[in-house]
């Protein structure tokens, strides 16, 4: 098992403030699974408008958080070092619980299918050990040069 700090996360994925949503990785088994943490605070800029009297993390940003955690797992694989992972699809997304300021979001990622440079991951988020979100994400891994 490996734990990664925020700076180590930034060494793997290209996301930066204000769209870096993973605070750290709790545990990881490369090429297999990962658990990462996102601390949801009232200081997130999206809470100003979503919604002013009832702040809720937007579903699309929850999916982005899931994709970032998946990218960390994917790009920690020796075969994908130095590359970039792109989400190509979302299947079976279910939103079971609102995510609010003060919540600690635990993101669980498990590799699904992998063929060459594309595949799937299964991702769930939990708050207080209760399932908040689940989805299957499709991805492709590419050299930065190919993405241009």
Contact status, residue 13 vs residue 68, Cβ threshold 8 Å = yes
Q: DSSP letters along 51-116, please?
A: -TTS----HHHHHHHHHHHHHHHHHTSGGGTT-EEEEEEEEEEEE-S---TT-EEEEEEEEEEEET
Please give the positions annotated as active site: 50
């Amino acid at each position: 098992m490996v734990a990664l700090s925020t700076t180590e996360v930034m060494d793997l994925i290209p996301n930066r403030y204000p769209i870096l949503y993973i605070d750290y990785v709790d545990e990881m088994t490369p090429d297999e699974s990962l658990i990462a943490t996102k601390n949801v605070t009232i200081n997130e800029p999206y809470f100003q408008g979503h919604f002013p009297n009832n702040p809720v993390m937007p579903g699309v940003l929850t999916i982005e958080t899931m994709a970032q955690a998946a990218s960390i797992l994917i790009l920690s694989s020796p075969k994908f070092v130095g590359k970039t992972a792109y989400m190509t699809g979302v299947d079976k997304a279910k939103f079971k619980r609102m995510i609010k300021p003060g919540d600690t979001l635990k993101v669980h990622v498990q590799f699904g299918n992998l063929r060459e440079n594309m595949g799937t991951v299964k991702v769930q988020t939990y708050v207080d050990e209760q399932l908040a979100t689940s989805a299957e994400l499709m991805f492709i891994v590419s050299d930065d040069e190919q993405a241009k």
